[in-house]
Structure 1
Amino acid sequence: MLVFGFSAGLPFSLLVGTLNAWMGEAKIDLATIGIISWIGLAYAFKFLWSPLVDRTRLPVLGRLGRRRGWLIVCQLVLALTFLSLSMTDPALAIGTFAMVAVIGAFASATQDVVIDAWRIDVADETATVEILSSIYQMGFRIAALVGGALALVLSARISWPAVYMVMGIVMAATVIATLFAPDTARPAEELGFRELREPGAVHPKLRALGLAVVGLGWAWAIVTIANFMMRILSVQPGDPNPPKASEFTASTGPWIIAATVFLPALVATYFNWLRTNGRNVLAEAVPATSGTQRAADHAYSALLLPLADLVQRLRWGVIIALGIILTYRLTDSIWGPFAFPFYLTELQYSADEVAFASKVFGVFMTIAGIAIGGVLFVTLGRYPTLILGAMVAAATNLLYADLAAGAHYIDAFANTFGLSAMGVDPRMVRLMVAISGENIAGGLAGAAYVAYLSSIASKDYSAVQYALLSSLTLLVGSLGRGALGEMIETDGYVAVFHLTAALGGIAVVFCVLEWIRASWQNRRGTTAPELMPTSDAARVTEGDTAA
């Protein structure tokens, strides 16, 4: 489990974070970096192909076990990805470079699906899911240090291609653990989702139609994003009318959100109405009799069942909940890919300084933020902590605005509290103050957000519901990165940080509305949704906490 946690964390760190530092040093424009960062959507969309991974037996490698065959494929593809990146110059072949990174991101996301399933499969009374989840986190954190801090330190001494070649070799070595790992046999007959075929459930044929509509919406969104990525990465020099990420985000972004969030919610609402009114529902149980029917049930449970349950319990309040989900971590996710270019290229910090400040010192500040969040939960309660988390996450963007403008306020803070008299380089003090503020706020906001998602997740559908909702968290921020990169190129970092701070205010408004809604609900005496069990929360939040 330790090695599998490392195997999951290394590509996440190298593809979502460190790759941007390489591209920044290669003088790739920030708009392009923002577009390439869309590869992180693979982690957000991974639940879409999880039924395929769960039910498909690979030829030849399938003999190794239900999960090990898939793991070996993913790990070898990732090793080849890093080796291929090491042989590609982003300054000369950015299209090829991006395509290799996309393949790696999909392999990494698929590996996450398999590892999550393996952990659940092999857990027993001795190696419980809780223990395995904790060990997974340890491996993931070690990988974050190797793929983040160590990679930056190595890049200052050897070339970036050499760094990724070393990481490719390290990734290939994880196959050894996979070959010796235990595995579980594939059941002779995998059961479907029984509650979908009991009396009173929506008729399977109608569910299939609704699933097709939602599937087409998701397919259109993914193809549209991929097509724009290819267009913008294949622009020839001197093109009089190149595609612009800002125009795509403004014109197509809202439709992508509508197709992937609001269309499924509307279909789920319609199905709830049918069940409530007894229309087009089963009069008797109709068990699934084929692999196609069971796969359709699995897909329905991943895409529509979580939303149907949420709409049924929250009713109109689901609009506020989706607003929080889409905007709460927006300020962090939208500018994250530009952090390394900002530190290394704009502010001219060394790789060693950034590695220490962001990947070592910053980790402790994040832990401090999580601890503060725990204290605030006890003293203030859930919703005040949620609101405060949104406020500080937005406000700390102003720290970076000050850092980009010369750090006048940060210097005043450091002088007031004697930080500048500790014998540390004043430039390093500025960086550490800014990173401390952001990471403490991020830890606090992250803890508050995970607790909120857990509070609205049903015990009956905890895993799939949490997985879907946490995936949607990344959607708006990811779509806005290309436009943000263009804005940095034209207006500079100071203006961008003021904008991201303002965007954070949207989440604050939604959080206040949710507190009002919850208070009104409690006054009416209705039952609040139950918290997800700790074991289930640990099972499905590794990607969020690691990020």
Structure 2
Amino acid sequence: MTGATAASDEAPKVAPVNPRPKGWRLLKIALRTRKAATMLAFGFSSGLPYALLIGTLNAWLGEVGVALATIGVLSWIGLAYSFKFLWSPLVDRFELPLLGRMGRRKSWIILCQAVMVAAFAGLASTHPASQIGTFAIFAVIAALASATQDVAVDAWRIDVADEDTPVELLSAIYQLGYRIASIVGGALALVLAARMSWPMVYLVMGGLMALMILVAARAPDTSRPPVSALHALLTQPGQLTPRTRAIALMIVGISWAWALYEIGSFMVSVLGDAPAGAPRPSTADFMKLYGPWIVIATVLVPLVVAATLNALQKRGHHVLDQADTRRSGARTVLNHLYLALVAPLAELAGRLGWGVLIVIGMILTYTLCYNIWAAFAFPFYLDFLHYSKDEVAFASKVFGIFMTILGIGLGGYLFARIGRFPTVLIGAILPILGNFLYADLAEGGAHIDAFANLFGLNALAGALGSDARMVRLLLAISGENISTGIAGAAFVAYLSGIVSKDFTAVQYALLSSLTFLIGSLGRGIAGEAFDTLGYATVFRYTAAVGLVAVVFVLLEWLRVATSERRAKALT
């Protein structure tokens, strides 16, 4: 046997790359193994409460006559999903009493699912029009439990992945379960609400969540691992001392705690029982007074702290002279918090310098144009435009989901075809146009009707037994969902490209959370503005706000292009 032949015989065989499964093939794979089937159920368990709390709940509130300003403030429960990284270290390291013996991740998942079942039952037993404060408490509890479950499910997916069920496959199955839940918690819930009371709908949905507890109880799990590589890195010479990290963490923690306290206190004052004759607190006044300070506390203060730590470490101040071998549970928790709240921004600030301000500005504003009013979609369709629940269920949660998937596909295609920043810029511009579509829809849809008549869509709808009114809604949703699908795909790709490989998970979690910060806070103002200015005017204002994102995209494009030219000049 020749040497060449022997070498070829000993060379490892490269497995063929299989295309990522989709549709029914993905569902078939999901039901084939225990891990994959569990992942499908966990995806459903994550998607169902989000659909019920962030979208469908507002349809219920609008139907019983709750003011849009109040709906806007209640929509701040969505901040639980934005800030879930704050308590992710607790979920990762703390072993629950009694339940902990069931498994590291599944114990948290089961606890959260049980809390959500109880919270949905609480919502069903409370009348939102007359007991909005109690109703809000149950909604907040459900949102916190749902966001915490997401943390545990994300960790479970990574932990249990193996060669037979790789994390990429589990992620695809998770998305499938999540989308099924979006239809159940959106379209099906609306269809049921047209035939039964809203409390009964939420009891049914609570029953579905209770079934997920049975699935979670039989899920596989993993043991607790030793301290991770990032934790070990913090103990090496040249790293900041534990005392310095603790002081930095205290400053950032106090800033976040103050912001959350102010938001929570205002929610209580708005949703609680006001004294007779006393005016309700104004969301617009609160945001004018506290909004900028909340952004400073949650974004600017951590950035300044991160930049200061980078400067100290660069100059060799307050760093370890030798490896730190001390271990304790408290230090492990502090390390987790430091890696979640401070280290990701410190790395980003150190790598980008002053450019981090442009990046953070772009992250804060990119989704603002459509996130700021998304919570009011159901009240807009049902109470203002007077579409039926069945019509909205089909248009928004069935047809609309397909349009979003189409937009995501177009975003991926454009990203590969014309490049990163051209696609990101298109994703910033198109939602602005989508807002103008909704402004036209709010005013009767004259321009949408002209488009539909030009292309014969109204005649086609008539032949199929529908009418121009439904075509109007479908076209508006098509424009909005396709544009936001493109924007979402482009922005996820951008964020994935900018995060550090050393901090991929925590940095992406932090940056993606900041994406929804301004939009979530702005919903309170939007609700009050819808009540006072009307839908069409607010849609145009939010479109104008979207121009801020366009400016930041152009600045970031210029920054990256300049950086690349300098790098080429040095080579």
Q: Structure 2 matches for 1:42-81, cutoff 5 A?
A: 42-81=80-119
Correspondence for 2:286: 248
Distance 1:33 1:288 in 2: 50
SS of the counterpart of 2:319? coil
- 1:519 equivalent to 2:561? Answer yes
- 1:450 equivalent to 2:492? Answer yes
- 1:199 equivalent to 2:237? Answer yes
Q: 1:394 to 1:181 in 2, by over 3 A?
A: same
- 1:32 equivalent to 2:70? Answer yes
Of residues 414, 421, 427, the one that matches 2:459 is 421
Give, in angstroms, the shift of residue 188 of structure 1.
Answer: 6.9
What amino acid does structure 1 have at the position aligned with 2:139? A
Distance 2:273 2:537 in 1: 27
Distance 1:431 1:64 in 2: 48
Of residues 479, 482, 487, the one that matches 1:437 is 479
Q: Structure 2 matches for 1:146-225, cutoff 5 A?
A: 146-187=184-225, 193-225=231-263
Could you tell me the percent identity over the aligned residues? Answer: 58
What amino acid does structure 1 have at the position aligned with 2:503? Y
Give, in angstroms, the shift of residue 196 of structure 1.
Answer: 1.5
Distance 2:246 2:457 in 1: 62
Distance 2:242 2:258 in 1: 24
Q: Which has the larger radius of gyration?
A: 2
Distance 1:269 1:276 in 2: 11
Correspondence for 1:540: none
Q: 1:177 to 1:493 in 2, by over 3 A?
A: same
Distance 2:568 2:470 in 1: 53
Correspondence for 2:36: none
Q: Structure 2 matches for 1:295-306, cutoff 5 A?
A: 295-306=333-344
Distance 1:122 1:384 in 2: 38
Q: Structure 2 matches for 1:361-372, cutoff 5 A?
A: 361-372=399-410
With 401-410 and 236-245 compared, the bigger mean Cα shift is at: 236-245
- 1:145 equivalent to 2:196? Answer no
Gaps of 5+ in 1: 528-547
What amino acid does structure 1 have at the position aligned with 2:412? G
- 1:502 equivalent to 2:540? Answer no
Q: 1:108 to 1:526 in 2, by over 3 A?
A: farther
Correspondence for 1:530: none
Q: Deviations over 1:377-424 (max 9, x none)?
A: 233211111111101111210000000011010011101111111123
Q: 1:469 to 1:77 in 2, by over 3 A?
A: same
Distance 2:224 2:426 in 1: 47
Correspondence for 1:538: none
Output the aligned Cα RMSD.
1.4
With 20-29 and 178-187 compared, the bigger mean Cα shift is at: 178-187
SS of the counterpart of 1:525? helix
Give, in angstroms, the shift of residue 199 of structure 1.
Answer: 1.2
What amino acid does structure 2 have at the position aligned with 1:312? G
Q: 1:411 to 1:238 in 2, by over 3 A?
A: farther
What amino acid does structure 1 have at the position aligned with 2:375? P
Of residues 313, 322, 326, the one that matches 1:275 is 313
Distance 2:406 2:227 in 1: 48
Gaps of 5+ in 2: 1-38
- 1:98 equivalent to 2:140? Answer no
Q: 1:472 to 1:107 in 2, by over 3 A?
A: same
Distance 2:415 2:110 in 1: 42
Distance 2:532 2:230 in 1: 53
Q: Conserved in 2, the CA contact under 8 Å of 1:192 and 1:294? A: no
Correspondence for 1:313: 351
With 479-488 and 145-154 compared, the bigger mean Cα shift is at: 479-488
Distance 1:196 1:239 in 2: 57
Give, in angstroms, the shift of residue 41 of structure 1.
Answer: 0.4
TM-score after normalising by structure 2: 0.91
With 299-308 and 68-77 compared, the bigger mean Cα shift is at: 68-77
Give, in angstroms, the shift of residue 242 of structure 1.
Answer: 2.6
Q: Deviations over 1:325-383 (max 9, x none)?
A: 00000012110111000000000000010011111111111111112212222332111
Distance 2:80 2:493 in 1: 24
Kindly tell me the number of residue pairs found equivalent between the two proteins: 528
Distance 2:202 2:341 in 1: 36
What amino acid does structure 2 have at the position aligned with 1:496? V
Correspondence for 2:14: none
SS of the counterpart of 1:193? helix
Give, in angstroms, the shift of residue 120 of structure 1.
Answer: 1.2
Distance 1:295 1:143 in 2: 34
Distance 2:499 2:228 in 1: 26
Give, in angstroms, the shift of residue 13 of structure 1.
Answer: 0.6
Q: Deviations over 1:269-300 (max 9, x none)?
A: 00101111111111111134101111111100
Distance 2:342 2:329 in 1: 19
- 1:326 equivalent to 2:364? Answer yes
Q: 1:187 to 1:463 in 2, by over 3 A?
A: closer
SS of the counterpart of 1:283? coil
Q: Deviations over 1:166-190 (max 9, x none)?
A: 0111111111111111111234777
Q: Conserved in 1, the CA contact under 8 Å of 2:428 and 2:546? A: yes
Q: Deviations over 1:197-231 (max 9, x none)?
A: 21111111011001000000000111111000000
Distance 1:502 1:189 in 2: 48
What amino acid does structure 2 have at the position aligned with 1:265? L
Correspondence for 2:79: 41
Distance 1:188 1:296 in 2: 16
Q: 1:20 to 1:231 in 2, by over 3 A?
A: same
What amino acid does structure 1 have at the position aligned with 2:548? I
- 1:487 equivalent to 2:529? Answer yes
Correspondence for 1:534: none
- 1:236 equivalent to 2:274? Answer yes
Correspondence for 2:171: 133
Q: Conserved in 2, the CA contact under 8 Å of 1:235 and 1:242? A: no
Give, in angstroms, the shift of residue 192 of structure 1.
Answer: 6.6
Q: Deviations over 1:463-519 (max 9, x none)?
A: 100000000111101111111111111110011000010000000000001111111
Q: Conserved in 2, the CA contact under 8 Å of 1:288 and 1:294? A: no
Q: Conserved in 1, the CA contact under 8 Å of 2:133 and 2:273? A: no
Q: Conserved in 2, the CA contact under 8 Å of 1:198 and 1:282? A: yes
Q: Conserved in 2, the CA contact under 8 Å of 1:191 and 1:294? A: no
Give, in angstroms, the shift of residue 239 of structure 1.
Answer: 3.3
- 1:385 equivalent to 2:398? Answer no
What amino acid does structure 1 have at the position aligned with 2:541? L
Q: 1:65 to 1:355 in 2, by over 3 A?
A: same
- 1:401 equivalent to 2:439? Answer yes
SS of the counterpart of 1:126? coil
Q: 1:132 to 1:468 in 2, by over 3 A?
A: same
What amino acid does structure 2 have at the position aligned with 1:386? V
Distance 1:318 1:188 in 2: 33
Q: Conserved in 1, the CA contact under 8 Å of 2:362 and 2:549? A: yes
- 1:292 equivalent to 2:330? Answer yes
Q: Conserved in 2, the CA contact under 8 Å of 1:6 and 1:143? A: yes
- 1:341 equivalent to 2:379? Answer yes
